[in-house]
Amino acid sequence: MSSTSRSPHPGDCSVPVHVAIIMDGNGRWAREKGLPRHEGHRAGMKAVREAVEGAVESGVEILTLFAFSTENWQRPPDEISALMTLLQLYAEREGSELKEKGVEVRVLGERSRLAPGARAAVERIEDSTRGGEALQLNLMISYSGRAEIVRAVRTLARRVASGELDPDEVEASHVEGALYTTGLPDPDLLIRSSGELRLSNFMLWQLAYTEIHIAPVLWPDFTRKDFQRAVQEFDSRERRFGRVVSST
Ligand code: FPP
């Protein structure tokens, strides 16, 4: 598992190293079936397994899932509580299988805001899967792109105030070093399910040159085939990173 930032190279794509997913459509899936919203989230947990399988099978090294946004704290208390319970269940039930597959789990975001049971469970799964080499699975929880950037600015402001950092020498690498994703390459591919065309405050810094794939299915219906389709489509993209690709 590589943990160093890579500089982007323009040209043809092959297998993306880092795939990020906005898992959207749980609520609509439940509504279509006349079920409460939390049933949509429960069904969404199955799709998380599919995405992990798809990533391992495709040879992707890092999979980052948007599991709970900072804005999601404004949802009704029973939905928040259902999401915390599901997260805890996922961490409790999947640990040994993920470890067997060589999946290393990390939780990125404001973990101090998580319900105590969910927090303890995700910390246990982080410990038990540490060192897995097949895939790094990042669960973004109580996370938003703007909040992450504000947190990074505060970190850098403290370093400037203490005299450790000269404001005129602040560079992109300093900001990257203060993000939750420090040390990871930016996502090559972003998948969003349910057909919506929005970033929804997700990885605003890291997605600068990321290719986007919109999957037309609601998240609970997302399968490893949808993941593989996105990866195959990525293979046909030409990435330029704002530059010109030589045609010779
Ligand atoms: C967006 O659908 C999805 C979420 C807010 C939560 C995602 C959670 C899961 C997939 C289940 C648990 C995850 C893990 C990692 C164990 P939405 O509710 O906004 O759907 P809608 O737009 O149709 O209302």
Q: What is the pLDDT of residues 157-204, one digit of tens each?
A: 999 999 999 999 999 999 999 999 999 999 999 999 999 999 999 999
CB of residue 220 inside a 6 A radius of ligand 1: no
Q: How far is the CA of 142 from the centre of ligand 1 (A)?
A: 13
189: left (phi over 0), alpha (psi -120 to 50) or beta: beta
For residue 244, what pLDDT band results from cuts at 50, 70 and 90?
confident
Q: What is the pLDDT of residues 50-72, one digit of tens each?
A: 999 999 999 999 999 999 999 99
In the chain, what are the domain boundaries? 18-235
Rg of the chain over Cα atoms, rounded to whole angstroms, equals 18
For residue 6, what pLDDT band results from cuts at 50, 70 and 90?
very low
Q: How far is the CA of 188 from the centre of ligand 1 (A)?
A: 22
Whether 2 has a pLDDT exceeding 50, the answer reads no
Kind plus residue range of the DSSP H or E element containing 142: strand 135-143
For residue 4, what pLDDT band results from cuts at 50, 70 and 90?
very low
CB of residue 215 inside a 6 A radius of ligand 1: no
pLDDT at position 241 is 84
Considering the chain, what percentage of its residues have pLDDT values greater than 70? 93
Find out whether 194 and 28 touch, Cβ atoms under 8 Å: yes
Q: Which of 64, 51, 57, 59 is nearest to 210 (CA)?
A: 64
Q: Which residue has the higher pLDDT, 1 or 197?
A: 197
Q: What is the pLDDT of residues 141-158, one digit of tens each?
A: 999 999 999 999 999 999
Q: How far is the CA of 91 from the centre of ligand 1 (A)?
A: 16
Q: How far is the CA of 44 from the centre of ligand 1 (A)?
A: 7
Considering the chain, what percentage of its residues have pLDDT values greater than 90? 89
Q: Which residues are catalytic?
A: 24, 72
CB of residue 28 inside a 6 A radius of ligand 1: yes
CB of residue 85 inside a 6 A radius of ligand 1: no
Q: Which residues contact 86 (CB under 8 A, 6 or more apart)?
A: 38, 41, 42, 45
CB of residue 27 inside a 6 A radius of ligand 1: yes
CA distance 70 to 110: 8
Tell the CATH superfamily of the 18-235 domain.
Decaprenyl diphosphate synthase-like (3.40.1180.10)
Q: What is the pLDDT of residues 120-146, one digit of tens each?
A: 999 999 999 999 999 999 999 999 999
Find out whether 71 and 90 touch, Cβ atoms under 8 Å: no
CB of residue 202 inside a 6 A radius of ligand 1: no
The answer to whether the pTM exceeds 0.85 is yes
Q: Which atom of ligand 1 lies at the shortest distance from residue 44's CA?
A: 10
- Residue whose CA lies nearest to ligand 1 atom number 3: 24
For residue 243, what pLDDT band results from cuts at 50, 70 and 90?
confident
Residues in the chain, overall count: 248
